[in-house]
Structure 1
Amino acid sequence: MARPSMNDIALRLGISKMTVSRALRGGKHVEAELRGRILGVAEELGYRPDPEIAKLMTHMRRTRRTAEPQTLAFVWAERSSREMERSSWSQQLVLGAHRQAEKLGFRLEEFHLSARGMTGRRLSDILEARGIPGFILSPLVSRSRGHVSMAWEKFSSVVIGLGYARPQLHRVHHHHYLGMMTALRMLKKQGCKRIGFYCGSTINERMFRAWSASFLAHHPLAKPGELLALRKVMSRGDFQEWLRGAKPEVVIDGGHLVKEWLEEVPASRRPLHVSLGWRADMPEVAGVDQQADVLGAAAVDLLVTQYQQNERGIPDSPRIVMTEGRWRSAGERPPISKGGGKG
């Protein structure tokens, strides 16, 4: 039995095949009532797109973009341009996004919600006026939950990070649970048992407690409770007090805040330092390289897929894409960046 086609749907409803095609792709020029009837008949007939034809149409759209690449947006939710320049993680994130966009035949332009007078609604108007159909929203780093008032219904969108709460959108994030598991596994191979974790509670909450859950589940000790320190406010004094009480032989942290505090401890009593956010500019600290450039590229992949499938607005079933990090030993040379700048 031949598979149902768009022509079958058109004949059933007495309309053109082009109208059926537009409706199935979510085109704006098909009335809602007619689109509903078309989708209903498509479901009734068991219509499914031909993957080879879809592949051909995607190729044709990419070919048309060759002369003048479609612009997509990368929206910094909180970081200013100056803050972004000081953050190696942010630079790698957006660099990976720029490279992947260029590879797929698009260009990426950056915008900052922290700019003077900028709001989500105003930025939405700017993007719409410039014909930019989709954007990537950077992580909300200052809190575990938040809201940005973009005109979501007009755009394809991807959010980086797990902490963003409203609305529920497609998102990509680093596999934090696996990152902690990797760090613990590598330290156990080195014979370490009293492994401590000192971290801010806000960042742990933002990733749905993935770090603390993995720490408790994969720690070499059966009861590592006293070695887990989640603090709403992290301070030098609190850290030193925790060190004296817990006596860890290794301290894992989420960034590099404790590096300076550990340097104040006499070398004979100083624990090893491992970071879950390894930095190329501090290779002396071992840890998990979150490979922010891979994360940025994954965000572009997810956004371009929506654009090519004409998906706009808040999805019915949001997808989550996770990327893996890589363990880097203390003193390991930073990876050589491939390619040029952001373009």
Structure 2
Amino acid sequence: MFASRVTLNDIARATGLSRSGVSRALRNDPRVPAATCERVQAIARKLGYRPDPELSAALRLLRERKAGRYVETLAFLSWHEDRIERAGNLYTRRLFHGARTHAEALGYRLEEYWAREPGMTPRRLQSVLVNRGVRGVLAGPVADEDSRTFAFAWERFSVVAATAAFPDVTMHRARPRNFENSRLALAEAHALGYRRIGLMLDDYVNERSAHAIRSAYLDYQYTRAGLPRLPVLELCGLGPDPGPESARAPEAEPEYKRFAAWRLKHRPDVILASRVVFYEWLRRARLRVPEEVGFISLEGVNEGQAFSHIDQHPDRVGAAGIDLLIAVLNHNTRGVPGEALMVTVAGAWVPGASTRRQPPHGAASSTRRSRAASPVLPEQQPE
């Protein structure tokens, strides 16, 4: 015998509320006091109530059709110097496009709200979102200094962050899988025959990755017998979104000198870099890539670059953020969660012209002294 399903009418009789009142309380409808929602949900659990997902989906579709095919708008908050479509940051553009495409496929609209728009303040942005009926917010990448001074009323919205920013705020998040991505790059370098694998890691990325990149590097060295254990070159001061000019700026000179000394002392045959701009220092040192040293970017590449790299799949990170945000909206929960969820997205290895298969161990040194032809990267062309 199957036990009869507990219905809304059963809960209504137990709580003394109407059927529609019970329905709203189970959905955390903002029109119902929080204490009432908690009481109704506690009684529903005691009775053994389980929602029917197929019926819920059908009723939701019916409500939308009655409302004239209403399409809910979600907000994507951006902080770059310019709007996303004009910004030079390829990662954020891919993240936004992936999120928007996935939102549209699920019946939502995703619109960019530019936090750096002239005259925009956190309070004004909050007012704009409330007046436009926006319930869900996907926060895009943002510099730490901006995130710590952005006094926004997160408690009024359902929020997911597709970034490691806002470290002082508990948020649901969608992120790249930094530890596994770094391990993948190390394994691919090893498979190509590289043995003296170096890591250039700046403090900004190190903090943002929760030290996952450094941990993966040290773990890989520890678990590979016979692999030389080169120290991590930890660098400072590049900031959140450095371009090639950052690596050439006068304030970067002390860090370049540390790089030059580290390279001469430890002689890496391939360098994993947390920043693609570190290639500028290889150029300055007149290192031939990939003949004398290989180069692998852990953060992806910019348009037109041919480096071997890890594609962090920011488009999939954005889509995962939308999935998580819609789940939060469907539970009608807002504000800072008691326990935050995190969805991580695996990256992929993309071979390029900055690495090549190494000769058998022992023949490498003589090969590096040769002048054999090899692929020429665009950045190596005479200036």
| TM-score scaled by length of structure 2 | 0.79
Among 196, 199, 202, the alignment partner of 1:200 is 202
**Alignment pair present for 1:169 and 2:207:** no
Amino acid in structure 2 at the alignment position of 1:267: R
Q: Cα offset for 1:31? A: 2.9
The one of 281, 296, 302 aligned to 1:261 = 281
Separation in 2, partners of 1:143, 1:28: 33
Q: Contact 2:196/2:230 (CA < 8 Å) preserved in 1?
A: no
Moved more, 122-131 or 148-157: 148-157
User: How big is the shift at 1:67?
Assistant: 3.7
- Residue 150 of structure 1 aligns with an amino acid whose one-letter code is F
Aligned to 2:300: 278
Q: CA 1:204/1:84 → structure 2, altered by over 3 Å: closer, same or farther?
A: farther
Name the CA distance, whole Å, in 2 between partners of 1:307 and 1:236.
48
* C-alpha separation in 2, matches of 1:61 and 1:13: 25
Post-superposition offset of 1:243:
1.0
1:65 and 1:194 mapped to 2: Cα distance?
Answer: 64
Partner of 2:83: 81
Greater CA deviation, 37-46 or 200-209?
A: 37-46
Question: d(CA) in 1 for partners of 2:106 and 2:84?
Answer: 28
- Structure 1 residue corresponding to 2:4, chosen from 2, 5, 10: 2
d(CA) in 1 for partners of 2:125, 2:288: 52
CA–CA separation in structure 2 for the residues paired with 1:238 and 1:83: 37
Distance 1:286 1:66, change over 3 A: farther
For residue 228 of structure 1, the aligned residue among 203, 219, 232 is 232
Change in Cα spacing, 1:64 to 1:227, as seen in structure 2 (3 Å) is farther
- For residues 147 and 71 of structure 1, the distance between their equivalents in structure 2, rounded to whole angstroms, comes to 26
- Asked if the contact 2:299–2:311 (Cα under 8 Å) also holds between the matched residues in 1, the reply is yes
Deviation at 1:47, TM superposition (A): 1.8
Show the counterpart of 2:215: 213
Distance 2:306 2:320 in 1: 28
Q: Which residue of 1 aligns with 2:181?
A: 179
Judged with a 3 Å threshold, the aligned counterparts in structure 2 of structure 1 residues 208 and 143 are, in CA distance, closer, same or farther, namely farther
Distance 1:17 1:97, change over 3 A: same
CA separation of 1:142/1:162 partners in 2, compared to 1, >3 Å: closer, same or farther? closer
Counterpart residue type for residue 39 of structure 1? Q
RMSD over aligned Cα atoms: 2.5
Matching residue of 1:122: 124
| Greater Cα offset, 8-17 or 268-277 | 268-277
Task: Tell me how far apart the structure 2 counterparts of residues 222 and 42 of structure 1 sit (CA, whole Å).
Answer: 61
1:108 matched residue in structure 2: 110
Could you list the per-position Cα deviations for residues 144-194 of structure 1 after superposition, in whole angstroms to 9, with x for gaps in the alignment? Answer: 983632222221111012343122111000001011000001011111111
The alpha-carbon distance between structure 1 residues 72 and 201, as it changes in their structure 2 partners (threshold 3 A), is: same
SS at match of 1:262: helix
Give the whole-Å Cα distance in 1 for the aligned partners of 2:216 and 2:64: 42
Q: Hey, what does 1:317 align to over in structure 2?
A: 339
Equivalent residue for 1:131? 133
Identify the residue that residue 339 of structure 1 maps to in structure 2.
none
Contact 1:196 1:227 (C-alpha < 8 Å) held by counterparts: yes
* Whole-Å separation in 1 of the counterparts to 2:271 and 2:143: 23
Residue range with higher mean Cα deviation, 243-252 or 219-228: 219-228
Greater Rg over alpha carbons, structure? 2
Alignment TM-score, normalising by the size of structure 1: 0.88
Q: Counterparts of 2:256 and 2:66 in 1: how far apart (Å)? A: 58
Q: Deviations over 1:5-39 (max 9, x none)?
A: 22111011222111000001011222344333312
The letter of the residue matching 1:293 is D
Post-superposition offset of 1:327: 0.5
Structure 2, unpaired ranges of 5+: 238-251, 355-383
Q: Equivalent residue of 2:190, what SS?
A: helix
Q: CA offset at residue 62 of structure 1?
A: 5.7
The aligned runs of 1:142-161 (5 Å cut-off) are: 142=144, 146=148, 148-161=150-163
- Measure the CA separation in 1 of the matches of 2:53 and 2:194: 52
For 2:37, the equivalent position in structure 1 comes to: 35
Shift of 1:55: 2.9
Q: Say if 1:161 and 1:171, in contact at 8 Å, map to a contact too.
A: yes
Whole-Å Cα distance in 2 between the matches of residues 107 and 87 of structure 1?
23
> What does residue 259 of structure 2 align with?
239
* Corresponding residue of 1:328: 350
Q: For residues 318 and 122 of structure 2, what CA distance do their matches in structure 1 show? A: 21
Contact 1:173 1:295 in 2 (8 A): yes
Amino acid at match of 2:276: H
Query: How much does 1:303 deviate?
Result: 1.3
Unaligned runs of 5+ in 1: 333-343
Are 2:289 and 1:289 equivalent residues in the alignment?
Answer: no
Residues in 2 aligned to 1:330 and 1:167: alpha-carbon distance in whole angstroms: 39
Are 2:255 and 1:251 equivalent residues in the alignment?
no
| CA contact 2:196–2:227 (8 Å) conserved in 1 | no
Give the stretch that moved more between structures: 169-178 or 152-161: 152-161
Indicate the percent of aligned positions where both proteins have the same amino acid: 30
